Amino acid sequence: MWLPMAEELSFHKFIEQSDLLEELKYDFNEKAELRHTETQKPFVFNYYKNVLERNSKRYQALGHLLEQYIYELMEKVCKLQKVYIPLEADEEPRSFFFMNERALTSHHSVLLVLLQDHGVFRAGQWSQQAIIHHGLQHGSQIPCIQMALQAHYDIIVPNPNDNFVDLKMEKEWESLLTQNIESSPLKIVEAERFLSLQQPALCIPKRCSNTPEEHMAYIWDCFISKTEGKDVAFIVHGYGGLVFMDLLVHRKWEVMSKVYAVALIDSEHHIGHQLGSDVQLLAWIRHHCREWVTNPKPLDKPAATVLKKEFPVVSAGTEKHSLAPSSSLQSIFKYFKKALKAKTTMKFSRMPVVTRSSTKRKQSA
C-alpha cells in the first residue's frame, strides 16, 4: 500500500510553484496514479491537437518536474540524504546520489544498491513512462526503498544517468520553477525555447560521472568499498545489469567478497563480451545472480533461454519491460532473504568447532 503523504508534498502543489500550471493540471491520487485535477483522467500526450513537437516538449517538462518531485520525496518521505560527487569538487558541475543517513556506519548487515535502466530518468525512477501511465507504485523506486528500510536494510540509490549539465538549460529551468506568473502565449514560446536540446556545446560532462559505469565505480570506490561487516545486494534493471557486470570485472575481488546477491531484471549485460572466459567470475555469478525477465509465464516460473543460462532465470510476471521491477519486487526480497540465510549458514559451517580435547591440546602445546 502506498504510504500517505502530507498535502504539502502533493505533485500539484509542486507544479503550482512552476510556470506550467495551465498545461499540466495533474496530481497523484490516493493510489499514487497521475490524474488530471479536474477530469480525473490519465495523462494525455496529445494536448496540442496533432502538434508533435509541442506535445513532446510538454512531455519533457512533465518529466523534469517528476524528476525534481521524486528527489523531494526521497529526501522528505524516505529520509534519504543527497550526497554530491566527486567529494573534493569545488565550483564545477557535480552529480549526486542518495543514501540513508547511516548507510555506511550502521550495524545493519545488508546494504542494498539500486541501478536503473538507461534513459532520461534519474535517481528514484525505474521508468518515467511507467510513473506517468501506471503510477508511482510501479514506475518509481520509492516502494522498493521503503520495503528495504522496513526490512532494516541500508540503501544507496545511484544516479547513473546524470552524466552532464547544460548550463543554459539549468539557469532557465531554475527561472521557470521559481516564477509563478500568469499564463500567456509568451510562456509557451519560452518553454519551447528552453526545452530544446539543440546546443550540445553547452553540455559539460560531470567528472567521475561521465558514464553510468564511471558513476557506479566512483560510488563503489569512495563509499561501498569502505564499509565493513556489510553484505551488499544489488537490484539492477536493463542497462543497470551491464553496469554491474562492468563493476564486477574491474573490481573483481572486492565485489566478489562483499556482494552476496544480485537481482537482475531484464538485464542488458553480455556475459561473453564482459566476463569472457574468466572461470572465477563465471562461477561467482552462477551462485550469486538471479534474473527476472519479461515473460508471459507467471511470476517466478523458470524462463531460461539459450542466451541466458549462466544463472537461474525466471519470469518477472509481466511482458512489459517498464513494469518488470515492480512486478518482481516481492519475489526479489524473498530471494535476498534466502541468499543471506544461505550465506550465513555457510559461514558458520566453515568455522572450526571448539571441543574440550582440542582446547586441551592447545593449552598443552
Is 313 part of a structural domain of the chain? yes
Question: 57: alpha, beta or left, given left = phi > 0 and alpha = psi -120 to 50?
Answer: alpha
Q: Residue 356 pLDDT more than 90?
A: no
Angle value at C-alpha 207, between 270 and 200, nearest 5 degrees: 85
pTM value? 0.85
Q: Which domain holds residue 154?
A: 78-163+206-349
Q: What pLDDT is recorded for position 21?
A: 67
CB 64 within 8 A of CB 116: no
Q: What is the distance between the alpha carbons of residues 32 and 44, in angstroms, rounded to a whole number?
A: 17
* pLDDT tens profile 60-115: 889 999 999 999 999 999 999 999 999 987 788 899 999 999 998 887 789 999 99
129 phi-psi bin (left φ>0, alpha ψ -120 to 50, beta other):
alpha
User: How many domains does the structure of the chain reveal?
Assistant: 1
Can you tell me the mean pLDDT for 179-192?
Answer: 39
Give the pLDDT confidence of 240-261 residue by residue, as tens digits: 999 999 999 999 999 999 999 9
Q: What is the pLDDT of residue 53?
A: 87
pLDDT at 57 > cutoff 60: yes
pLDDT for the residue 13:
77
pLDDT above 80: residue 234: yes
Q: Is residue 133 part of a domain?
A: yes
Q: Is residue 304 part of a domain?
A: yes
**Do the domain assignments include residue 277?**
yes
Higher pLDDT pick, 349 / 25 = 25
Nearest CA-CA partner of 141 in 293, 45, 292, 265: 265
Q: Is the pLDDT of residue 191 over 90?
A: no
* Three-class secondary structure of residue 152 per DSSP: coil
Residue 35 lies in a domain: no
Within-domain flag for 114: yes
CA distance 99 to 77: 13
Length of the chain equals 365
- First-to-final CA distance of the chain: 62
CATH number of 94's domain: 3.40.50
Share the mean pLDDT of the chain: 84
Residue 346: pLDDT band by 50, 70, 90 thresholds? low
pLDDT, position 40: 94
Percent of the chain with pLDDT over 70: 79
pLDDT digits (tens, 9 = 90+) for 197-226: 444 447 789 999 999 999 999 999 999 999
Residue 111 is placed in which grid cell? 546494504
Task: Give DSSP secondary structure letters for 55-92.
Answer: HHHHHHHHHHHHHHHHHHHHHHTS-EEEEEESTT--SS
> Tens digit of pLDDT for each residue in 267-321?
999 998 999 999 999 999 999 999 999 999 999 999 876 555 789 999 999 999 9
Asked, as a colleague might, if the bond just before 42 is cis with ω within 30 of 0, I would say no
User: Is residue 67 situated within a structural domain?
Assistant: no
DSSP 182: P
Residue 257 vs residue 51, higher pLDDT? 257
Comparison of pLDDT for 360 and 68, the residue scoring more? 68
Note whether residue 174 is domain-resident: no
pLDDT grade for 190, boundaries at 50, 70 and 90: very low
275 to 43, 270, 345: CA distances (angstroms): 43, 8, 29
